[in-house]
Structure 1
Amino acid sequence: MKVLETSLPGVLILEPVVFGDERGFFFESYNKKALEKVGIMAEFVQDNHSRSVRNVLRGLHYQIKQPQGKLVRVIQGEVFDVAVDIRRNSPNFGKWVGFNLSAESKRVAWIPPGFAHGFLVLSDVAEFLYKTTDYWAPEHERCISWNDTDIAINWPVQGEPTLSAKDKLGHSLKRAELFP
């Protein structure tokens, strides 16, 4: 596995070794020992699967209690994936990193606890899988507005994205409940 560091320490892009021939391909999408070798000491407790159509934007989500680390990948289509450091005491507080994940590239991203996470669907359809280090706790779930001007994410969106009712109510970074 090749590890690509991003501009935000702790947020990693992982490129698995893919074995392919005329029959198709094979790769390990998760290997606890391999992740531990690159410093990801995570116990995953839940797998999630979402399907979205072009221009759907999900996020920026996080849980203020029971924070979740997320190991994310796309198995159909392509997304622009974003992580935002929302730890008040971090030297990178309020900074974001974005990168494309696709079924074709087979890249996997690690988003540690303490980061808000979101993605924009770039293809006609995208299926997105993610493992989490803690269970979904709706009472602790929070959302920061995708277009917060203090964060200023450069989303590759054309026009207005399609948002859930919950995501339309996202708070600004200034008003959000954050990590210490």
Structure 2
Amino acid sequence: MREERVVLLDDNLEACGTMDKALVHTADTPLHLAFSCYIFNAKNELLVTRRALSKKAWPGIWTNSVCGHPMPDESIDDAVKRRCLYEMGLVINTVDLIDRQFSYRATDASGIVENEHCPVFLGYTTDMPKANAQEVMDYFWAPIDKIIAGVAAVPEVFSPWMVAQLARPVIRSAIANLARF
């Protein structure tokens, strides 16, 4: 497998280099490009995943459907589709960008820092998930209102990026207006 590289960003969110993905997440993680995707099924249920215990940052935490990093010279749409297939075995034909401005910085219990500019997407599938155990240890589908209520009630069991994303009006609005199927 080829080395995955992460796109580093400057303060203006312009690409300014790359770094080996295996080395980028430390206690002093540089700002880099990522994405989050919320995948819905034909019942308009959201796929929520639990990160594998082997993950370097936030192992075992519940989070949105798929997260990842576009590689240099890869469109972010293609990166979302690639990670949906890799992490969950899901073919996603189209992805909809719902928040191009989301960025966050958070530190997990081990001291690993996430420092990402992280556009947020919606994806749709009719496939059944086939979770990659290296990425995901569990998952479930649920109505978005139940997920939002769960995140509000016990935010500490969800990833900090998911909690912050679901608090953003632009994301809440896009999700609330789902009428895909």
- Greater helix proportion: 2
Decide: shared fold, TM above 0.5. no
Q: TM-score range by the shorter chain?
A: under 0.3
- Greater strand proportion: 1
TM-score scaled by length of structure 2: 0.26
